[in-house]
Structure 1
Amino acid sequence: MAAYKLIALDMDGTFLTEEKTISEENRKWVNQAIEAGVTVMFSTGRGVQNISPYVEDLGLTSPMVAVNGGEVWKSPQELLSRTPLQTSWVQQLHQMALEYDVWYWGYTVGGLYNKDKWTSDLESEQWLKFGLFTEDHVKLAEIRSKLEEWGNLEITNSHVSNLELNPRGISKASGIREVCGLLGVKMEEVIAMGDSLNDLEMIRQVGLGIAMENAQEELKREADAVTASNEEDGVAKAIQKYIFGL
């Protein structure tokens, strides 16, 4: 039996292809790991609405970490915990996005809003994550610097041109730690795989943190190992090597 009991997978840029599909090799080896008694779960920046089709496709019943740890699910149907952003913070973030004229979006319990489809009634929603995007990296750095001064936000990214914001201390790592408590698994018994800075804390804190070949360089430097890219079945290759010793 493998020393690792839990595999936590980022989705975009990691488990999914660039076409947002599941490769046959990834599907095969995830199923093999589950049959061997290993729990396989998603740990993603996506909201649960955008995770569910893949969970159903794979027939997963395992826990999930959604919106970078803003929600932790005991199973696909049962919420374990939720840590929303304060509405006043979202108001300030929205104002900042308008001032800098950048793309923005926000996940709520009810769904996804963005620059093209926003809401005037912020109070009626529980906000789980806010994001900003611009290819002007000078502007992005300036926004990040201002947000760091607030001191109340966890600042990560899922792409070199965006920022993703959760309450301070909330991350995929904090979500995985909750799942470990639920399952009676130690963090040292967890493999995590990712490609972006919203994967950094989980890569650092689990027993085996694996970066994809297509990952941001900072993540690769922090990872314990690097696997093939998301287009080359990197998840499948890592499962073969670190779960089955192939």
Structure 2
Amino acid sequence: MPNGAWQPKLVALDIDGTLLKWVQGAGKTHEIVPDAVRDAVHRAMAAGTHIVLASGRAPHSMTAIAEQLGLRDPLTPDGRLWIVASNGSVLVRHPPMEIVHEETFDAAPAVHAVLERHPDALVAIEERGVGYRVSAPFPDGELGGETIVTQLEDLVSAPVSRVIIRDPKATAEDFLTMAADLGLHGTDYVVGWTAWLDLSPVGVSKASGLRYVADELGIGAEDVLAIGDGRNDIEMLTWAGRGVAMGQAVQEVHDAADHVTGPVDEDGAAVELDRWFA
């Protein structure tokens, strides 16, 4: 656990529910970063710390947030930012957006196993730079970019970096029980705030993506501060020298963290950043 003299050399920030506040009951976030959070992020950058966005979002959706924040990395020779996208499956430099590393897997067995339990569930595969290919339309606002309706077999006919499965008629608890029962061999999985399941290659998470980035920058995990609110943040909160959960996160995320800050509606990320970069 860092002491009072410690200052992180890399700050990893989740986006939805950490930088961006939730639209109550809508399953999406406001796409505006609050001023207090933006200012705190810029104070950290000005202090000479690498800022890395780490999210389940697709790269094109994350670069939009990076632009809104005005993020650049003055510590790299070209000033380009590192981004951990798609829950660690895709690593990006920006701007301009460049895919540096990508992990893929055969999602078909896991997808079919889930659909046997939830036959009406929706499936989405990232269509890079555009949006998503989907088995049927998702609820409004839940996916960024364009959505292209595609036959299920075509969606999982080739290796992919990430699959989203969503059942608006089910609950997060339904999906947690189902995933535990199925085991979902050959994949790692994360259940979201709703009946939302992210499938990824085995061993791939935000933590594995951040480890890759930290190695490239010559930074150890002990010098990383990570802030997040979702189950897909647990690995990175555990891996980082200081892992901080947002106040509104579920208990298992709190349990994985070294500290719990205020909720997103109270700019909890800014409160944590100001602890080290006042």
**Deviation of the 1:161 alpha carbon:** 2.8
Correspondence 1:129 to 2:162: yes
Decide whether aligned partners of structure 1 residues 229 and 91 sit closer, same or farther in structure 2, where only a CA change above 3 A counts.
Answer: same
Q: Which residue of 2 aligns with 1:112?
A: 132
Are the aligned partners of 2:246 and 2:260 in contact in 1 as well (CA < 8 Å)? yes
Deviation readout 1:137-188 (Å, 9 max, x if unpaired): 564245313541x421111133243221101100000000000011111111
Superposition TM-score, scaled by structure 1 size: 0.88
Query: What's the secondary structure of 1:97's corresponding residue?
Result: helix
**Deviation of the 1:194 alpha carbon:** 0.7
Q: Which residue of 2 aligns with 1:226?
A: 260
Q: After the TM superposition, which residues 1-246 of structure 1 pair with which residues of structure 2 at under 5 Å, given as runs?
A: 3-18=7-22, 19-60=30-71, 61-76=80-95, 77-86=97-106, 89-90=107-108, 93=111, 96-97=114-115, 100=118, 101-110=120-129, 111-114=131-134, 115-116=136-137, 117-120=148-151, 121-122=154-155, 127-134=160-167, 135-136=170-171, 139-148=174-183, 150-241=184-275, 243-244=276-277, 246=278
Decide whether aligned partners of structure 1 residues 142 and 58 sit closer, same or farther in structure 2, where only a CA change above 3 A counts.
Answer: closer
Cα RMSD of the aligned pairs, angstroms, is 2.3
Decide whether aligned partners of structure 1 residues 137 and 187 sit closer, same or farther in structure 2, where only a CA change above 3 A counts.
Answer: closer
Decide whether aligned partners of structure 1 residues 125 and 58 sit closer, same or farther in structure 2, where only a CA change above 3 A counts.
Answer: farther
CA distance in 2, matches of 1:154, 1:124: 19
Give structure 1 stretches of 5+ with no counterpart. none
Letter in 1 for 2:257: A
Are the aligned partners of 1:147 and 1:153 in contact in 2 as well (CA < 8 Å)? no
**Deviation of the 1:198 alpha carbon:** 0.4
Query: What's the secondary structure of 1:33's corresponding residue?
Result: helix
CA distance in 2, matches of 1:234, 1:128: 31
Query: What's the secondary structure of 1:79's corresponding residue?
Result: strand
Decide whether aligned partners of structure 1 residues 166 and 232 sit closer, same or farther in structure 2, where only a CA change above 3 A counts.
Answer: same
Are the aligned partners of 1:108 and 1:126 in contact in 2 as well (CA < 8 Å)? no
Deviation readout 1:79-103 (Å, 9 max, x if unpaired): 22101232xx237515743761223
Are the aligned partners of 1:90 and 1:130 in contact in 2 as well (CA < 8 Å)? no
CA distance in 1, matches of 2:40, 2:241: 20
CA distance in 1, matches of 2:70, 2:54: 16
Superposition TM-score, scaled by structure 2 size: 0.79
**Deviation of the 1:105 alpha carbon:** 2.4
Letter in 2 for 1:119: T
